[in-house]
Amino acid sequence: MAFITSGAAAVSGASLTARRAFTGAAVCPVPAGPAAPTAATWSMSAGGLRTFLVGGNWKCNLSKDAITSLCKELAAAPDLETDKVEVVLAPPTPYLDHTRSVLRQDFEVAAQNIWVGGPGAFTGETVAEMIKDVGCTWVILGHSERRNLPQIRETDDFIAQKTKTALSHGLKVMFCIGETLQEREEGRTLDVCVRQLHALVETIEAGDWKDVVIAYEPVWAIGTGKVATPDQVEEVHEKIRHYLAKDVNEKVAQETRILYGGSVSPGNCNELAQLPDVDGFLVGGASLKASFLEVIESFKSDLAATV
Ligand code: PGA
């Protein structure tokens, strides 16, 4: 496993420790970067583990029959060690109810979007109450396709408000962030991620973060087959954790899971799963096939790397 700089290796060591039950004390050095916080002393007494989480985002794909077949294939796999990995699948809205009824019970179901408020005269929208009513426990919000597609263009504030609404109804949220290729080339990766996160920090309470998972998904890696390198992934994840320590608190920084998304596949998941600040994946294309199970199984690489 390679890290970014020699300084970062020390940082990664501290993060690695933080993934286990937190005992003792350690100082986590702060990496260089435009929005990097000042030095933070990590309280290692928070306790608890960051359970590996694998999300499958089916986007606007599949049919009722195709979902039935895929769920049958996924059911053929052995029971998961649900204390070590959580799996969440996100079908298109019309199939939420059906997916919940045919999917194995140890997998959870997520919506791909919700309306920002409650029920009423909002043609075409779906509210959190309805998502919960059909057995969903999660929602994906802030996905780059909803942030960046010119027909949609959701803003940071709107996404943060939706997240607040979801959390207030007891839904858990996969909150997606990430930079475009142009933003990366201009050296603005961290600024963009921090800007997107800051809107949420301003909108929810520190206690709400227990139901939020961050998915770092560089836009240039989504659906392109161009996966970010382990160094690129670890660098951003580690800096996100520092940002949380500075703008929320150290407990939230230690306990919030940060997933990577962008062309994750059975071929690259095991290497990425071993990174100290990668706590799982959000998977698009590769979640549409039964081989998605191989990505789920990468939790074993994560565990092996932290022993
Ligand atoms: P991908 O999509 O795995 O097909 O790149 C990931 C995502 O959009 O969440």
Task: Round to whole Å and give the CA distance between 236 and 216.
Answer: 8
Q: Is 234 a catalytic residue?
A: no
92 CB-contact burial (10 Å; exposed 0-12 / middle 13-18 / buried 19+): middle
The Å distance, Cα 303 to ligand 1 centre, comes to: 24
Residue bearing the CA closest to ligand 1, atom 6 = 284
- Give the pLDDT of residue 145: 97
Q: What is the pLDDT along the chain (307 residues), one digit of tens a residue?
A: 322 222 333 333 344 334 432 222 232 333 334 343 333 333 332 334 799 999 999 999 999 999 999 999 999 887 887 789 999 999 999 999 999 999 999 999 999 999 999 999 999 999 999 999 999 999 999 999 999 999 999 999 999 999 999 999 999 999 999 999 999 999 999 999 999 999 999 999 999 999 999 999 999 999 999 999 999 999 999 999 999 999 999 999 999 999 999 999 999 999 999 999 999 999 999 999 999 999 999 999 999 998 7
CA nearest to 87, candidates 225, 259, 271: 259
The Å distance, Cα 287 to ligand 1 centre, comes to: 9
- Give the pLDDT of residue 76: 85
* 52-302: CATH topology: TIM Barrel (3.20.20)
- Looking from the CA of residue 215, the nearest atom of ligand 1 is 9
Would you say the CB of residue 295 lies under 6 angstroms from ligand 1?
no
Catalytic residue among 217, 234, 235, 250: 217
- Looking from the CA of residue 283, the nearest atom of ligand 1 is 3
Pairing of strands 26-28, 258-261: unpaired
- Give the pLDDT of residue 44: 30
Would you say the CB of residue 287 lies under 6 angstroms from ligand 1?
no
- Give the pLDDT of residue 39: 35
- Looking from the CA of residue 265, the nearest atom of ligand 1 is 3
135: left (phi over 0), alpha (psi -120 to 50) or beta: left
- Give the pLDDT of residue 148: 95
Would you say the CB of residue 284 lies under 6 angstroms from ligand 1?
yes
Would you say the CB of residue 56 lies under 6 angstroms from ligand 1?
no
- Give the pLDDT of residue 19: 47
The Å distance, Cα 229 to ligand 1 centre, comes to: 15
Residue bearing the CA closest to ligand 1, atom 2 = 284
CA nearest to 213, candidates 299, 141, 111: 141
Place of tokens 């809107």: 199
Ligand 1 mutation target, pool 62, 282, 291, 294, most atoms within 8 A of CB: 282
Residue bearing the CA closest to ligand 1, atom 7 = 284
Q: Is 143 a catalytic residue?
A: yes
The Å distance, Cα 42 to ligand 1 centre, comes to: 32
CA nearest to 136, candidates 144, 127, 145: 127
- Give the pLDDT of residue 306: 83
State residue 254 phi and psi, 5-degree precision: -75, -35
Would you say the CB of residue 227 lies under 6 angstroms from ligand 1?
no
